[in-house]
């Protein structure tokens, strides 16, 4: 029998690998069983118990990418971030079931990330199949908009790399133009990663091998999966 949203919310609050913020006006994290959590600048020591590089997956949904990355790269730490607790529950539950101690989950609005991470604490950022907000009036909500790029630059150390994987070509093209205007160093821009793999025998980076549920659906519909990788100035 599938769990209800309320069941998932209750379980998420008892997970040792999940942290939640319930207020936009007064941001603060709680962890397992509602215990206050002071993690800004201390994720490595306070949660992971090591100083390994931290990768964020933003708007992670069910966190399939966070879990997939944690499986493939046990020498790195990963944090899936999303505002929807019932979505994050899936990834957090799976990570616990598989004993993936290098995966954690954060429920919060992405605009508040600087409240929960210290300067230079993040080494890498993945944005996988985000809401494209295609209406021109919603452009500032796109996760590659300049206000978000400035936010990422606050959280990240020197040379931080940002990855965007999407099936929405209009978001890909807009993001490509936006990050170049921002002064980012473009490292890869592929309009069709599957075509790239057919030509070169491999994806631009091995992380692209990890499929998500929606990615499979989009491929079945014949949509191309696009990819951007850039380094913030």
Q: How confident is the model at residue 212 (pLDDT cuts 50, 70, 90)?
A: confident
Give 78's Cβ-side CA count (13 Å radius): 28
What confidence tens digit (pLDDT) does each residue in 1-10 have? 467 888 888 8
pTM of the predicted protein model: 0.95
205, 126 in Cβ contact below 8 A?
Answer: no
pLDDT at 1: 45
Q: What is the average per-residue pLDDT within 78-101? A: 96
The CB density around residue 21, as the number of other CB atoms within 10 Å, is 19
Q: Is 14 helix (H, G, I), strand (E, B) or coil?
A: coil
Q: What percent of the chain has pLDDT over 90?
A: 85
pLDDT at 9: 84
Domain ranges of the chain: 5-231
Question: Which among 131, 167, 173, 220 is annotated as catalytic?
Answer: 131
Q: What is the average per-residue pLDDT within 62-84? A: 96
Q: How confident is the model at residue 138 (pLDDT cuts 50, 70, 90)?
A: very high
E strand segments, the chain: 18-21, 29-30, 36-37, 54-58, 77-82, 103-107, 122-128, 156-166, 185-190, 226-231
Give 72's Cβ-side CA count (13 Å radius): 13
Alpha-helix residue ranges (DSSP H) falling in 75-192: 85-98, 146-155, 169-182
| Phi-psi sector, 112: left (phi>0), alpha (psi -120 to 50), beta | alpha
> Of 15-19, 69-73, 117-121, 152-156, where does mean pLDDT reach its minimum?
152-156
- Fold observed for domain 5-231: Rossmann fold (3.40.50)
Q: Is 131 a catalytic residue?
A: yes
67, 95 in Cβ contact below 8 A?
Answer: yes
Q: What is the average per-residue pLDDT within 32-39? A: 96
């Amino acid at each position: 029998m599938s769990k209800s949203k309320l069941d998932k919310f209750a379980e998420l609050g008892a997970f040792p690998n999940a942290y939640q913020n319930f207020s936009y006006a007064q941001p603060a994290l709680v962890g397992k069983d509602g215990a206050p959590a002071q993690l800004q600048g201390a994720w490595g020591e306070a949660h992971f118990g090591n100083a390994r590089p931290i990768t964020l997956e933003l708007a992670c949904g069910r966190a399939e990418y966070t879990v997939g990355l944690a499986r493939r790269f046990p020498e790195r730490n990963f944090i899936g971030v999303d505002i929807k607790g019932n979505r994050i529950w899936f990834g957090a539950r799976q990570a616990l079931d598989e004993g993936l101690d290098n995966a954690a989950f954060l429920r919060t609005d992405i605009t508040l990330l600087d409240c929960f991470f210290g300067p230079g604490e993040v080494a890498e950022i993945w944005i996988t199949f985000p809401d494209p907000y295609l209406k021109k009036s919603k452009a500032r909500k796109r996760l590659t908009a300049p206000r978000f790029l400035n936010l990422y630059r606050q959280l990240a150390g020197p040379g931080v790399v940002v990855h965007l994987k999407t099936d929405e070509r209009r978001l890909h093209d807009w993001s490509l133009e936006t990050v170049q205007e921002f002064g980012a160093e473009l490292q890869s821009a592929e309009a069709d990663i599957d075509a790239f793999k057919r030509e070169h025998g491999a994806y631009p980076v091995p992380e692209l091998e990890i499929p998500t549920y929606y990615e499979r659906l989009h491929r079945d519909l014949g949509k191309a999966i696009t990819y951007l990788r850039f380094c913030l100035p």
